[in-house]
Amino acid sequence: MTKGRRGPGKKGGPTRLESPANSRELAFSVLSEYKTSGRLIAPLLESHAQRAGLAADERALASEIAHGVVRRRATLNTLLQHQIDRPRHRVEGALWTLLQIGAYQLVLLGSVPSHAAVNETVNVAGRLGQPNWRGFLNGVLRSVARELTDQLTNLPAADAVPLNEGCYRRLSRPCFGDPDDNLQEYVVCAFSFPEWLIERWQRQCTADELLRTCFWYNTRGAVSLRVNMLRSSREQLLEALGGAGVIASAGVLPEAVRLAGTVRVDTLPGYREGWFAVQDSSAMHAADLLAPQPGERILDMCAAPGTKTTHLAERMRDDGTIVATDIRPDRLELVEQNCRRLGIGIVETRQVGRDGADLPEGPFDAVLVDVPCSNTGVLGKRPEARWRIKPEDLRELPQLQLRLLRDACDRTRPGGRVLYSTCSIEPEENQQVVHQLLTSRPKVQMEQELTHLPGRPADGGYQALLRFIK
């Protein structure tokens, strides 16, 4: 620990800049509001970036920093605390956010030179009207930089910080617990996950599988597109993407396209024309399993934002009826917006109550019930989710999920089918919910079940296709 570097004490100060002038200032403003409001990073970035009017490269760097700080906050906090005598809770919150922003660039964002990461972050303190923070920021961040070595390893160690794809960067001294003595403690701090979640996963998989999963969740993952076959073809979209310099390849399903890196989707060719939607390849299997047919009447429960809804409609060739329900009108507006952009006309939206008492009456040929869940299958793309979920959620959510599944079954015709879907990897939300339903409904049988493991090759999740015996 660096002696004498005690830092400014806590005193109320500014928490955001009204007009961010660069990527670090934008990231700071977004993270400050996230920490006070709990709102998601992506919409905060969009609203702040629009007001700031920054160039695309500045917005992209701000997005990487903001998402990265949320995702790796335990890693950053551990490394920073090794440099400061004062306990974290006695350092001004806005100053700690700046320390996290600087440390993320130094340790985990290899594309930014160290001097730029330090200097640009220190300059934000001046823009905040806090010149007394500059020396402290500069000293701590330079100390963090000195801890980093150029040595890489493929094994976890107390002096190794995980980067990506099984690679660790050596530090000049141990900052984490020894993984050989206590793997759970190491993973919690070095990979940045809640302790209860890692303890849970350790009981369910091997050490190698745990580390592989955590590496996967600490990357944003490739963007997957679903071609709208009503307006385009995969060949046409791939040609257009290639012409725009975007590296893309065909996915497993006939409408799937996988991009090589992260991009701003609304700038891609064909976006405004409704040629595609953004959807992970594992989520695409929901419509593929349910196999909706033209002319059918389908209920889509918990439909917002409409990604799976529109996939169903595309598979139906926009012929038939889909009733899309959700509990909030603003979320149903997202469904309608997606339908308009993709040129889909068979979707009827309907707001329902939380208790499900006013769900549309059946019978339906098929029902998709994409239930609210813990999101433990998509923690890479939703970095906030790992800090929001609590142990009690895995006791409470299955009760809601089972009720929704029963509601879906009550509205399905004899011979019809129900697709139960989650983006969770927890058995309580997946197999156990479906098993409870099957034991109480002798006329319902399991037809097919898919478990998607995170990173093999896409997001984690679960789908079960149920069919009603005539």
Segment holding 467, helix H or strand E: strand 461-468
Chain centroid offset of residue 152 CA: 28
Rounded CA-CA distance 271/224 in Å is 13
Number of Cβ within a 10 Å radius of residue 329 = 10
Beta strands 321-326 and 297-301: pairing type? parallel
- What is the DSSP annotation of 152-188? EESS--TTEEE-STT-EEEESS--S--TTT-HHHHHI
Residue located via tokens 């934008």: 26
Q: Is 257 helix (H, G, I), strand (E, B) or coil?
A: strand
Instruction: Quote the tokens at residue 457.
Output: 């090759």
The amino acid that residue 360 corresponds to is: P
Phi, psi (deg, nearest 5) at residue 101? -60, -45
Identify the CA nearest to 216 among candidates 194, 191, 252, 196: 191
Which alpha helices (DSSP H) does 188-261 contain, by range? 195-204, 207-217, 234-243
Query: 172 CB contacts (<8 Å, ≥6 apart)?
Result: 146, 147, 148, 149, 159
Q: 88-108: string of b/e by CB count within 10 Å (b at 16+)?
A: eeebbebbbbbbbbbbbbbbb
Catalytic residue among 175, 189, 373, 423: 423
CA distances to 77, 94, 239, 249 from 88, rounded to whole Å, are: 8, 12, 52, 46
Beta strands 256-259 and 224-227: pairing type? antiparallel
Phi, psi (deg, nearest 5) at residue 84? -130, 130
CA dihedral 145, 149, 155, 157 (to 10 degrees): -60
CA dihedral 380, 383, 385, 391 (to 10 degrees): 80
CA distances to 156, 394, 465 from 434, rounded to whole Å, are: 38, 15, 10
Catalytic residue list contains 409 = no
Q: Give the catalytic positions in this structure.
A: 423
